[in-house]
Amino acid sequence: MADHQLPEGKRWIENLLALGAAMGYQAQPEYDVLAREGRESPVDVAWFRSEGDQFPLFIFEVETRASGQMSHNAGKVFTQDTKLFQKPLFHFHLIVEGGKENTRADVAEAAYGKFNYRIYGVAEGEGTEALCDILSQHRRVSDRLDVSALATALSAEHWPEIDLDQVWAHAEDCHFRGEWLRSYGILALSDPETFLKRLLRFLKTRYEESGSPPTTGYGTFIGEHCSSALHAALLAENDSKQGMKWLGELQSWQEHDGIMKMAAPYPGLSEEGDNFVFALMPAVWGLIAVMFTEVEGARRWILEQMELVISTDTGLSLVAVAATGIWMLHVAAGGDGDKQYFELARERLNAEGGINAALLAAPPALGGLVADYDEWWERLQAEKELVPNFDEFRQRFSGSGREGGGTPIALAYLLDEQPPEAGHEIRELLAS
């Protein structure tokens, strides 16, 4: 074991122990494969399926350089009588410095290559392939994967020679069951440079495979009800060249089953549905408008969906439609502006004497819930004023444009049970 005091070998052993634990194994260093014969012949790392198992499923030997010891290290596993030692599901032999193209490595592979055994030249770029193969072998054992734990074990700091994007793509292709969306979302918020692209790739890949992105996996009300809409927005903001495609996905989500729209007023059908359409969706429409800024026609289509709520034809009272009206003003006034829809919202709000001025400056992330309509009404009526005309409104709010996009806000919406307090931020993004 003297060689493993060297940094590279020691690092790989520590990494494999952490990786095994992250994948649910009992990872043990220096496991003695000949203990029953009264002699000592340890392998560097052994992964057991559970505590108390006698024989490991996976064995790892880490060699600093190819040497004559390699054949012995493989032979001590594969030449034993199965009655004494049951063979592992796979034996990984890793050379972490120097090449494997020499007779010593050739002899080991020639002798044991017909078994579930392979030599990987890490220094020659085969470390990435080794990790991918480890995931493939794990898939033979289990279809479950702890995505968050794997992310901790696969840090770039500990695996500098590995193409981790390729490893993650392979893990996704293995179709493990796990909290992919929630884990990737949390990781993208804390490390957007690394994990946002992986989340977007995951969504695109699943869309290509099934015809639509995954719709569940966050464990939140918002994630359950409008993840498809927010996924389309995430993809549109970060993949503007495909913007029309993602607008089509957003429109398909809204059309739902072709009979009832997903986010349209059906008052009284259910309190949950009313809360979704009248309280939650107004700010979400504003956020989606921000994220589809580069997609021609998207903002106009969003305004048309908001008009479904604000229209007087629905017979809805101001207490129900006020949040939609407030957000519709900002969506219509932002960007190049859409005076027609601004006036629709303005007339609806001013018909009953205007609206709380503070709500115009800081639109609510969550409007009034049905159970709290009395309190919401009082808030709407406090210190109210008439909505100014289009030019005055734009002048009042045009100086508050904010740089950036809506991606972190969208992720927060998907991950949290309650919408984030981001109304003011969304309003500023709309004005930019």
Could you report the per-residue pLDDT of 78-104, keeping only the tens digit for each? 667 777 778 889 999 999 887 666 555
Q: Provide the token pair at 283.
A: 């700010």
Q: Is the pLDDT of residue 105 over 80?
A: no
Instruction: Compute, in degrees rounded to 10, the torsion defined by CA atoms 273, 276, 278, 281.
Output: -150
154 with 247, same domain: the answer is no
Choose the weakest-confidence range: 39-43, 71-75, 181-185, 298-302.
71-75
pTM value is: 0.90
Instruction: Compute, in degrees rounded to 10, the torsion defined by CA atoms 256, 261, 222, 277.
Output: 180
256 with 403, same domain: the answer is yes
Which residues constitute the domain of residue 361?
A: 211-431
Q: Give residues with Cβ within 8 angstroms of 283, minimum separation 6.
A: 323, 327, 363, 364, 365, 366, 367, 419, 422, 423, 426
167 with 296, same domain: the answer is no
Residue 198 lies in a domain: no
CB 55 within 8 A of CB 82: no
Single out the residue of 387, 385, 383, 355 nearest to residue 368, CA to CA: 355
Q: Is the pLDDT of residue 262 over 60?
A: yes
218 with 106, same domain: the answer is no
166 with 42, same domain: the answer is yes
CB 95 within 8 A of CB 65: yes
160 with 251, same domain: the answer is no
23 with 70, same domain: the answer is yes
- DSSP3 helix / strand / coil % (the chain, rounded to 5): 60, 10, 35
